[in-house]
Structure 1
Amino acid sequence: MSFAQEKYQPSVENLANREWFQDAKFGLFVHWGVYSVMAGGGDYGIAEWIMNQKQIPIRQYEKLPSFFNPTKFDPEEWVSMVKKAGMKYITITSKHHDGFAMYDSKVSDYDVVDRTPYGKDILKQLKEECDKQGIKLFFYYSQLDWHHSDYYPRGNTGKGYTGRPESGDWNAYIDYMNAQLSELLTNYGEVGGIWFDGMWDQWDANWRLDETYALIHKLQPGALIGSNHHKSPIPGEDFQMFERDLPGENTMGFNQTGTISELPLEMCETMNGSWGFNLKDQGYKSSKQLIQTMVKAAGYGANFLLNTGPMPNGQIQPENIDTLMIMGNWLEKYGETIYGTRKGPIKPTNWGATTQKGNTIYLHILELSEENLLIHNLNSKIKSIKLFDDGAKVNFKTTEFGTLIEIPFNKRQLVDTILKIEI
């Protein structure tokens, strides 16, 4: 596309970080902003979208920061939790669609340092702790902005109610966006990358992506760029993401392409039905469901970016912590079958998935009601098949229809029965 970073050649650092990213497999998504004060307004699934969904004018919404005082925010506690959960990186909202920055921006005073009683740079504290504990930090940045007067013409959201003048300078807004991105990429040391969102608000606008992507890659050649635009990756992007769906699937209606690129992959998912904190949303997914989704994502070669919406006081919801600790315990035992793997020879399906590391294939059986499993696409010569848990040999035979593997019911695990296949 003409507006992308044509002829982009990733740097040596960028390629190395892509490999690291593919090895990492599991990260924490954090949706946190002044909208958490309203706890989603008591409506299911609104949370960070409350300004738009409740049509709150800017002059009223601007009162929210004065209530945001997360005195319980403890970055050391957050990052320690992330490590215990087996996660390797954090992606946090630096600015969401409401336009409010969670760091000390110098090109705007609409930020956590200048407008809240808390008065401290959230991202700076988190980045310092991530560096101490060896966790990479990525910055989510919304291209869509319901607050900035120069975000004009308006897209499909944030219209009518905001009180903004029906005029503006689009190029001035892109300049502002690039200035904020420059801050994020020069004031916080080395970051993992930039996670864009909001381009879907007006896909055909002149986003000047060639300039933005080139700027990011110039300031931090190793930083990875991804965009949640719901379409195939465009030149200048370093990984492809899928919102609330496995790669290539579209049960949520977000992913408008079935294409899975050759770039590193990531899928993001919520622990309940909301991204930001929402008091009413108690529809928590079970740890079993989330582990199995992570396994299937790995079966596609994709990372699993699992979200939490911190409470306005700065603490992570206890229900989320409980889930993450269960997942961390599972990964402590079975991480070998996830970390550092690539997609296996058999595409994820109803019964499970495969991951692979060299000549070892990990067969993840998630749901199987029968004693035997017939695999059609395992074309390599099999040396042995063993249960991952106890190393016991598994009976198998090769037939004209495929490989028939015997999996005794008394050896099944509740979440994932893993076989280690040497080829």
Structure 2
Amino acid sequence: MIPPTSLADSSARTRWFAAANFGLFIHFDQASQLGLDLSWPMVGLTSDDGSGASAHAAVDYLRHVDDFDPRRWDPAALARAAREAGMTYGVFTTKHHSGWASWPSTATPLTIARSPYGRRGGDLVREFVDAFRGEGLRVGLYYSLSDWSDPDYPAWRPDFAPYPFEGYPRPSADEWARYREGLKAEISELLTNYGRIDLLWFDGGWERTQEEWGSADLEAHIRSLQPEIVLNDRLPGVGDYLTPEQTSPGASGGGVWETCVTMNDTWGWSPHDENYKSTGHLLRTLVDSVAHGGNLLLNVGPDRDGALPAKEIRILRELSEWMQRHGESVVGATSGLAPWQFYGPSTRNGDSLFLHLLAWPDEEVIVRGIHPRSVVLVELMTEGRELPFRAVIDPAEARTDHPVGNLVISVPSTRPDTPLPVIRIRSHGSRA
């Protein structure tokens, strides 16, 4: 991963994003009607982890591109579910590596306008943006720099196999200049036709260098259209934040970051992928991200008709139910304690410190190195139950005004019935 060059001077425009904490990623395009993950089957891969280990015969990914007609696509319901689950922003796939544009672009011929849905005026980008704005959520657009269907890129051919990643074939200078102009025209449409766009989520940049993409020129063009937009780090050499995928950052170093995670193993809808993560697993991923200064962008993949699979609906509903009691520990929260102080993710929000219990403790929870005398309430949020606590302070510190010590909390013997129990510690004056 190339470190973003603009991280140091991007704090003002990323202030909202650094506090966003939780967002919804939506992978949906014409291939969803085929039950295929987005784009990768087109080049003979079933995984985009960079290994190429899942190579197989490429599929005719665009064979039903003109039949796309998702009658059950309901972005308003998606936006409502996202808000109820405590999410503050959404990101939608406007164009994946396959090159199919989910809006009626005039800059490329491979668009939704060719399909029955598009001929009736359907525009997935417009519908997403309007729905998420309507719920008070920030809007982000995913856009792939690579385009495996454009002859100027060049388009994918069987003789390119196996997929070469950074070694993807290069076109002539004239073809590349034409491709870059088309790319800029498409981005211009997305950033001028849909009002304010809060975030642009690039992908596909690994196939070319920073110089080949003309990253500095493209960033300047983007910011001339949307000066306050936040950019991820997948346009080489550019970016306001880091985007590890399916994991947290592999090294510390501060800065704003976001991990994108699937509910199962695939990004787009695959009827054969039933390997869903538990709601508890996803909640642990969320609070671990927030506790370490990052965001979680949780993915959904609508099916061939545009509806969410039942298991994804259930997960969003269970996230919403958990948020009803525990949302304050995530929404608007910041990092809490250092790992030595409490053995689990912790967050802060206002006068409260939140302990997320990944495992149910035996008899007591100990919080180290805080101001225990400032604590006025300890509560098991799941049950609304106050918990007994006591301060343990070294005698040498006991006569100071705000002694540092440990807080010992007694907990019930039985774990509450929730995917992730949370303890709130409320303090006054000098925070705990």
Q: Is the 8 A contact 1:299 1:353 kept in 2?
A: yes
Name the CA shift for 1:144/1:394 in 2 (closer, same or farther; >3 Å).
farther
> In the alignment, does 2:192 pair up with 1:178?
no
- Asked whether the equivalents of residues 4 and 208 of structure 1 are also in contact (C-alpha less than 8 Å), the reply is no
Do the aligned residues in 1 keep the contact of 2:86 with 2:331 (CA within 8 Å)?
no
Whether the 8 Å contact between 1:228 and 1:242 is mirrored in structure 2 is no
State the Cα deviation string for residues 97-118 of structure 1 (Å, max 9, x = none). Answer: 11111111111111111x2121
Letter in 2 for 1:418: V
C-alpha distance 158-297 of structure 1, shift in aligned 2 (>3 A): farther
> Is 1:51 the equivalent of 2:57?
no
1:418 corresponds to: 422
Which residue of structure 2 aligns with residue 167 of structure 1?
171
Residues 1:382 and 1:36: Cα distance change in structure 2 (over 3 Å): farther
Determine helix, strand or coil for the equivalent of 1:71. Answer: coil
2:389 is matched by which residue type in structure 1?
N
Q: CA deviation at 1:297?
A: 1.0
State the distance in 1 between where 2:340 and 2:87 align. 22
> How far, CA to CA, are the matches of 1:49 and 1:348 in structure 2?
42
Code of the residue aligned with 2:109 in structure 1: it is D
Per-residue CA deviation, residues 235-290 of structure 1 (Å, 9 max, x unaligned), is x52222221112x23xxxxxxxx24432x321111110110100100001111111
- 1:254 alignment partner in structure 2: none
CA deviation vs aligned residue, 1:42-71 (integer Å, no higher than 9, x gap): xxxx554111125547xx544321232112
Alignment of 1:231-250 (within 5 A): 234=237, 236-246=238-248, 248-249=249-250
User: Which residue pairs with 2:399 in the alignment?
Assistant: none
Query: Counterpart in 1 of 2:386?
Result: 392
After superposition, the Cα gap between the structure-2 partners of 1:244 and 1:347, relative to the gap in structure 1 and judged at 3 Å, is farther
TM-score by length of 2: 0.81
How far apart are the structure 1 equivalents of 2:7 and 2:407? 47
Partner of 2:346: 354
1:218 equivalent among 201, 218, 224: 224
Matched residue of 1:90: which SS? strand
Code of the residue aligned with 1:219 in structure 2: it is L
1:18 aligns with 2:22: no
Alignment deviations for residues 369-413 of structure 1 (CA, whole Å, 9 cap, x no partner): 43334445x345551150242351432443679735334233643
- In structure 2, the residue matched to 1:27 is 23
Range with greater deviation from structure 2 (165-174 or 85-94): 165-174
Pair 158,106 (structure 1): closer, same or farther in 2 beyond 3 Å: farther
Q: 1:405 to 1:6 in 2, by over 3 A?
A: closer
Answer whether contact 1:4 1:209 (CA < 8 A) is retained.
no
Is 1:364 equivalent to 2:349 in the alignment? no
For 2:125 and 2:354, the matched residues in 1 are separated by: 38
Aligned to 2:374: 383
1:43 counterpart residue number: none
Assess if the C-alpha contact under 8 Å between 1:299 and 1:347 holds in 2: no
Residue matched to 1:403: 406
Deviation string for 1:276-307 (max 9, x for gaps)?
A: 10010000111111111111111112221110
1:194 is paired with a residue whose SS is strand
Structure-2 residue corresponding to 1:333 = 325
Opposite residue 417 of structure 1, the aligned amino acid is P
1:116 aligns with 2:122: no
Matching residue of 2:205: 199
Structure 1 residues 171 and 4: alpha-carbon distance in aligned structure 2, compared to 1, 3 A threshold:
farther
**Aligned-partner Cα distance in 1 for 2:385–2:107:** 59
Shift of 1:210: 0.7
Choose from 107, 131, 155 the match for 2:133.
131
Unaligned residue ranges in structure 2 (runs of 5+): 45-55, 395-403
The answer to whether the 8 Å contact 2:360/2:415 transfers is: no
Instruction: Kindly indicate whether the alpha-carbon contact (under 8 Å) linking 2:31 and 2:61 is maintained by their aligned counterparts in 1.
Output: no
The structural deviation recorded for 1:150 is: 2.3
TM value normalised by structure 1: 0.83
Instruction: Provide the alpha-carbon RMSD of the alignment.
Output: 3.3
- Distance in 2 between the 1:181 and 1:47 partners? 20
Aligned to 1:279, what secondary structure does the other structure show?
coil
| 1:276 alignment partner in structure 2 | 268
Shift of 1:319: 1.0
Alignment partner, residue 253 of structure 1: none
Contact 2:6-2:240 at 8 Å conserved across structures: no
Partner of 1:96: 96
How big is the shift at 1:80? 2.2
Structure 1 residues 196 and 81: CA distance shift in structure 2, 3 A: same
Instruction: Return the index of the structure with the highest Cα Rg.
Output: 2
How far has the Cα of 1:204 moved from its partner?
6.0
C-alpha distance in structure 1 between counterparts of 2:88 and 2:379, whole Å? 27
| Contact 1:103–1:121 under 8 Å retained in 2 | yes
The counterpart of 2:278, out of the listed 281, 286, 307, is: 286
**Matched residue, 1:72:** 72
